[in-house]
Copies of this chain bind each other. A is one copy, B any other.
Amino acid sequence: MELNPVIEMLGRKLRLAIIGGGPGSFIGGVHRMAARMDNRYDLVTGVFSSDPLRSRRAAQAYGVEPQRACSDVTEMLDAESGRPDGADVVAIMTPNDTHHTYATAALDHGLDVICDKPLANTLEEARQLYNRVRQSGLVFCLTHNYTGYPMVRQARAMVEAGDLGHIRMLQVEYVQGGKARPLQREPGAALPWRFDPSRGGPSVVMGDIGSHAHNLLRYITGLEVAQVAAEMGHIVPDRDIDDYAGALLRLSNGARGSFWVTQAAAGVENCLKIRVCGSAGTLEWWQEFPQRLTFRPLDGRVQTCTPNGPGSLPLSRRACRIVSGHPEGFPEAFANLYSDAAEAIAARRSAAQPDPLALTFPTALDGLKGVEFVEAARQSSQSNGAWVALS
């Protein structure tokens, strides 16, 4: 049984510059692992912290050559642009309010971009960035990483193949416990950025995880949210930020949906779940057991799909590195976005046609849709739960 030939690097590795993700950042380590996983990227430079000393120390630890360690984003982008072996692509993993600025700068330097979600904190910034990406012709990969799981891709492929028939209903929930505990900080210490609306965005729970839930339902079903009736707020008393959001959904094809996200559910780890019901069957997926996709056909026994297992469709199969029964996880799902982006970038550079199956990764358009959804939900929440149409 051969490893998925798509996966492991066969040509020149892409030169990667990183913005953010230094020591203390959970997501920084994940990005770097994802970049290394399939041997398609070389980390060549980075600004890993807004503190110059911390940034340089991190650069050294991560194996960046000393002369390429930077402490300023513009300086880095300029320097790389001037080198024959300059960075090909910039990965951005800074707080939400800076995605727009750094991504625009990278695009302005002609670099492809991999960027953490959400795309931006405001609708205006999101639209600007989306338009900028479109004009540039560059690759922009937004790391809605849950779309990288093989079983999420299998779900999408089964919907596309018509296995569910006409989609009628869906339920999506993303429930975490990370903010169930009152915030504890030293007297005088700054708020963590995620507790500060000016940095974390107008609705932190929506930016953090609601955007994932929204993107996941779009990725699997191919439907858009047409209207939303929502309530957002906080249920733990010590804060000014949203820690839950509930909504009812009307989808673009007339289907109906339920949406529930929170970070204040004591003891819950990372429960992202989706159920999609069609006229011919129902799909269920749960991130904490990502290697199982349940299919309940209208007629016939419940089926369990597994990575590389029987009935795997091509979109799912190419997202697997190992034979069935050997669980891949969150890092591999994340890496699938990096590797798909690498394939898209390589094709763009060589003016070749990429494998269409590589092109399902979320883009700036998906990010814009996400910000629009958050805005519509916020508007509904402020209008006594009235249904609000998305543009």
Contacts and interface: CB of A to CB of B under 8 A. Distances in A.
A302 B233 CA distance: 27
Contact of A63 (B9, B181, B296): B9
A246 B256 contact: yes
B269 A236 contact: no
A169 interface: yes
Contact of A256 (B176, B233, B295): B233
Given A26-B1, A32-B8, A266-B282, A326 B322 contact: no
A25 B3 CA distance: 7
B279 A266 contact: yes
A328 B325 contact: no
Contacts of A305: 301
A193 interface: no
B244 A256 contact: yes
A159 B341 CA distance: 45
Contacts of A327: 287-290, 327, 329-330
Contacts of A311: 300-301
Given A171-B173, A231-B248, A298-B180, A267 B255 contact: no
29 contacts: A2-B23, A3-B26, A8-B32, A8-B61, A9-B63, A32-B39, A33-B37, A39-B62, A177-B298, A180-B279, A229-B229, A229-B231, A247-B248, A266-B278, A266-B282, A266-B297, A266-B298, A267-B281, A267-B298, A267-B302, A268-B277, A299-B310, A301-B311, A303-B304, A327-B327, A329-B332, A380-B385, A384-B387, A386-B386
Contacts of A296: 177, 266-268
Which 9 pairs, one residue from A and one from B, show the smallest C-beta to C-beta distance?
A: A270-B325, A267-B296, A269-B325, A3-B29, A329-B329, A327-B329, A229-B385, A326-B330, A266-B298
Contacts of A68: none
A175 interface: yes
Contacts of A275: 175, 265
Interface string A239-268: 000001011100000111110101011111
Interface string A304-338: 11100111000000000111111111111000000
The copy count of this chain in the complex is: 4
Given A32-B8, A169-B235, A386-B385, A282 B268 contact: yes
Interface size class of A (residues with CB under 8 A): 35 or more
Given A36-B37, A304-B304, A265 B282 contact: yes
Contacts of A123: none
- Residue among A247, A248, A290 with most chain B CB within 10 A: A248
Contacts of A24: 2
Interface in A209-245: 229-231, 233, 235-236, 244
Interface in A106-139: none
Contacts of A385: 229, 248, 380, 385-387
A197 to B, nearest CB: 20
Given A270-B326, A380-B385, 17 more contacts: A3-B25, A8-B29, A26-B323, A33-B38, A176-B325, A177-B282, A233-B256, A235-B255, A236-B279, A246-B258, A266-B278, A267-B281, A268-B282, A289-B327, A300-B311, A301-B309, A329-B332
Contacts of A257: 246
Contacts of A33: 37-38, 321
A279 B246 CA distance: 19
A168 interface: yes
A301 B313 CA distance: 12
A189 interface: no
A152 to B, nearest CB: 13
Given A26-B2, A302-B303, A384-B386, A331 B330 contact: no
